Structure 1
Amino acid sequence: MTSSASWRAASAWSLGALEVLPGTDKDGYLRNLADWSPAVAEEIAQQSGITLTAAHWQVIELAQAFYRTYDLSPDMRPLVKWVRAKLGEEKGSSLHLLKLFPGSPARLTAKIAGLPRPTNCL
């Protein structure tokens, strides 16, 4: 069993086709930031239908830096501005973030990054 698979077997329980990570709320957000790890991020992303790439990890790390700086998860507009300031115009656009995190980039990024749900996201 690979380390990722053994981690999942030890840390998650199965509910039909859905794996539920320990310490998450009903929407899948971690209740405790300290429970986050890259393996947890991979599992949450996989459950959301996303295979994480280097581009995803850049945004995840920036969302975590935003949280450390402001003590809140970035909503869409602040996330776009933060990514633009750190990675430039091309990557700091709503369209780029939507391609990486379809649906609601701020919510999905926060969930995968182990952050609380952004307050102003629908």
Structure 2
Amino acid sequence: MAIEINGTSYETDEEGYLVNLSEWNEAVADAIAQLENVAMSPSHWEVVNFLRDYYNEYQIAPAVRVLTKAIGKQLGPDKGNSKYLYELFPYGPAKQACKIAGLPKPTGCV
């Protein structure tokens, strides 16, 4: 599979995750978000950028529990909870947010 943006093709796996992580940019994130029916807001970008930083540091996409805890530590308890994250990413904060962030599917996600 692939997504097409401004004449450039970006390869994705069968679930829509970017194959080449280095090809990610905000236009790619917006295109994936549209396919996922997510309207990106500053709150969405905050989570996406948090995930990219986390991945750069630990070389792994966090599972939802780890993500929730880490966001709570960095962004505060009002954002570090499942309810808030599921409102932003209804198909799963870890799974859907990682896809939009151009990261591999988190371990432990089915």
Q: TM-score, normalised by structure 1?
A: 0.84
1:29-52, Cα deviation, whole Å (9 max, x unpaired): 001111100000000000000110
What does residue range 1-80 of structure 1 map to in structure 2 within 5 Å?
A: 8-12=5-9, 22-80=10-68
Overall identity of the aligned pairs, in %: 40
Question: How large is the RMSD of aligned CA atoms in angstroms?
Answer: 1.2
Contact 1:62 1:82 in 2 (8 A): no
Residue 65 of structure 1 and its aligned partner are, at CA, apart by: 1.0
Larger radius of gyration: 1
Aligned to 1:18: none
- In structure 2, the residue matched to 1:82 is 70
Q: Where does the alignment leave 5 or more consecutive residues of structure 1 unmatched?
A: 1-6, 13-21
Aligned length: 107
3-state SS, counterpart of residue 103 of structure 1: coil
Q: Give the superposition deviation at 1:25.
A: 0.5
CA shift, 1:73, in A, is 0.4
Instruction: List 4+ stretches of structure 1 deviating above 6 A.
Output: none
TM-score in terms of structure 2 length: 0.93
Q: Distance in 2 between matches of 1:8 and 1:67?
A: 24
2:85 corresponds to: 97
